[in-house]
Structure 1
Amino acid sequence: MKNGFFTFLLLSFSIFSQEPIEATFIDKTNLNIDTLVGVDNFNTLYYIKNNVLSKKDDSKTITYNNFQLGQISSFSAFNPLKINLFYKNFNIAIILDNRLAEIFKIDFNTLQPYRNVSHISTGNDNTLWLFNQDTQQLEVFDFKNKISLAKTLPIQNVVLDIKSNYNYCWLLTTQYLFTYNYFGTLISKIKNDGFTSIAESDENIILKKQNALFYLKKNTTQFIPIITPNLLINQFLLANETLYIYNNETLQKFQLKTN
């Protein structure tokens, strides 16, 4: 197929804006957990403590555990009806419904071709984005029919983090931040200047560099510094224009003024 049929933006440099974004404090909650998984628009909190996934709202807390599979290595609550957990040591993914009941189990060890998976994230319908370490490819994987719907070209970088929505996947590596669409087509490639983790909401990205956060608005190339209080940024999430920062003791909520 001719290259002219595809249109994508290939960027090999990063541009830093000189005007930072102010993060306005809203409130904070005392929290003693191991890992913050997600916060939805209804203030439902997803977290992991002692290798148990919990979903907590104003009325109750429900939990899920699968200790025989070892430590939970990655997770996504982007789609609350199909939450995914990945157990890297066993190369197995678990899909949960909104009650944290198991609805699918994907054992990549038993599939042909074999996939040595390092990262997964939520895709559209019955799909996952997964990174195959052996082929160095990102795949759109249909976990119901156990087939790949799309694959990227090999990526010769170490993967640090992965985030996705129904249409796009952001792959942060040691050298670049890649953006791919649902068909496995490269949309953008921006040089990574020390970022180690990312969060996504509405195709806007937050990136962490040391103990500082930067904002990348969709369809732009400017990494904009975010002004935050002097606190440890252990984990962070973005929901609409609300930034959540967990510092091992409290979950703090901030409004971002991005306009």
Structure 2
Amino acid sequence: MKYALFLFLGFTISMYAQNPIEITLVKQTKLKADTIVGIDNFGTIFYTKLNTIYKKNKSETISYNNLQLGELTSANSFNPLKINLFYQELNTAIILDNRLAEIFKIDFSSINNYKNVSHTSTGFDNTIWIFNQDTQRLEVFDYKTKTTKAQTLKPIDSPILDLKSNYNYSYLLTKEELIIYNYFGSVVKKIKNDGYTKLVENNESLFLLKDNNLFYLGKDSKDIIPIKTDNILIQQFFVINETLYIYNDETLQEFQIKIK
């Protein structure tokens, strides 16, 4: 009986124990920024400094700022052809092209059906995901027609920690849970938040930050696997394909990460 019990326990542990994912340092780059917005497949870095967004590659650095809108709350470069900026103080979003030229301005206070927005993120085509504080719902907002294409069915009553998205899904991290929505506002998956404070999406897989430690959640998995970072200070992080970037205020570190 005891032998059978030991076998069962051993099988249970082997099913759920996950070996940490290892990373290998590739290079380090000196960079002084307030916020790293994103990095594309060609190594172009988008970052903010003193309320200005910069796009820096090997040949040039270009920038954009709009001091009339106050402090830049967030920026998203998932689609480098339609970069979105959000200024919460004036409830306004700006869409930039790949040369950081302004192509759309959305004043949520002046449109029909006023929206009090706290978070924004990239959507498909001419849409952005927004979190409407008055309704406590996520919305897919078309900034050309100034209409809501879809919204989540139930209000979200837990404090919002982070919002990321791609063309198909939105990933909302609240204090209580991680919720994944499809483009129509329907819930795809819910996972209890066990202390995670930030997230990054890469090819529909997620990387989560908790107490200066990184974790990985695969696209079709419920298992959250630790990433071995050896106590590196993680102020900001990004993942592009098999490259993990970690920024610590002065240095941008690039790591190779291989997930089986």
Pairwise TM-score range, normalised by the shorter structure: over 0.9
1:26 maps to 26
SS of match in other structure, 2:227: strand
Q: Which residue of 1 aligns with 2:124?
A: 124
| 1:219 shift after superposition | 1.3
> Aligned partners of 1:75, 1:223: CA distance in 2, in Å?
27
Q: Distance in 2 between matches of 1:16 and 1:112?
A: 51
Alignment of 1:171-250 (within 5 A): 171-250=172-251
- SS of the counterpart of 2:29? strand
The letter for the 2-side match of 1:178 is I
CA–CA distance in structure 1, aligned partners of residues 230 and 251 of structure 2: 13
Task: After superposition, give the CA deviation of every residue in 1:65-124 in whole Å (9 maximum; x if it has no partner).
Answer: 011111111111000000000001110000000000000000000112111101000000
Separation in structure 2 between the aligned mates of residue 194 and residue 220 of structure 1, nearest angstrom: 19
Task: Return the alpha-carbon distance in structure 2 between the equivalents of residues 190 and 121 of structure 1.
Answer: 21
Letter in structure 1 aligned against 2:246: I
Q: Counterpart of 1:142?
A: 142
Which of these two proteins has the greater Rg computed from alpha carbons?
Answer: 2
Q: What is the aligned partner in structure 2 of residue 168 from structure 1?
A: 169
Q: Which runs of 5+ in 1 are unaligned?
A: 1-14
Query: How many positions carry a matched residue from both structures?
Result: 245
**Is the 8 Å Cα contact of residues 17 and 224 (structure 1) preserved in structure 2?**
no
1:179 touches 1:186 (CA, 8 Å); kept in 2?
yes
Q: Distance in 1 between matches of 2:66 and 2:230?
A: 37
Q: Distance in 1 between matches of 2:148 and 2:166?
A: 17
Q: Could you tell me which residue of structure 1 aligns to residue 89 of structure 2? A: 89
CA offset at residue 255 of structure 1? 1.2
Q: Percent identity?
A: 59
Which runs of structure 2 are paired with 1:42-81 in the superposition (5 Å)? 42-81=42-81
Q: What is the alpha-carbon distance in structure 1 between the residues aligned to residue 191 and residue 102 of structure 2?
A: 37
Q: CA distance change for structure 1 residues 17 and 59 in 2, over 3 Å: closer, same or farther?
A: farther
Secondary structure at the counterpart of residue 68 of structure 1: helix
SS across alignment from 2:109 = helix
The CA deviation at 1:230 is 2.6
Which whole-Å CA distance do the structure 1 matches of 2:196 and 2:167 have between them? 24
Structure 2 residue runs of 5 or longer lacking an equivalent are 1-14
Is 1:133 matched up with 2:128?
Answer: no
What amino acid is aligned across from residue 140 of structure 2 in structure 1? Answer: V
> Which deviations, in whole Å up to 9, do the C-alpha atoms of 1:133-153 show, x marking residues without a partner?
110000010000000000102
Aligned partner of 1:35 in structure 2 is: 35
More relative contact order in 1 or in 2 (CA 8 Å, sep 6+)? 1
Instruction: Give the Cα–Cα distance (whole angstroms) in 2 for the partners of residues 17 and 142 of structure 1.
Output: 44
1:16: how far off? 7.2
Match of 1:110 in 2: 110
Aligned-pair RMSD on alpha carbons?
1.1
In 2, Cα distance between equivalents of 1:16 and 1:49: 43
SS in structure 2 at match of 1:89? helix
> Does structure 1 retain, via aligned residues, the 8 Å contact 2:212–2:231?
no
Q: Secondary structure of the residue that 2:24 maps to in structure 1? A: strand
Q: Look up the SS of the partner of 2:68 in the other structure.
A: helix
Retained in 2: the 8 A contact 1:122–1:164?
yes
1:5 maps to none
The residue identity in structure 1 corresponding to 2:215 is: F
1:57 partner letter: N
Q: What is the rounded CA distance, in whole Å, between the counterparts of 1:235 and 1:48 in structure 2?
A: 13
Contact 2:164/2:200 (<8 A) preserved: yes
Structure 1 stretches (4+) deviating beyond 6 angstroms? none
Please report how far the alpha carbon of residue 18 of structure 1 lies from its aligned counterpart in structure 2 after TM superposition: 2.6
| Deviation string, structure 1 residues 173-216 (Cα, Å, up to 9, x no partner) | 00000000001110001000000010111001111001101011
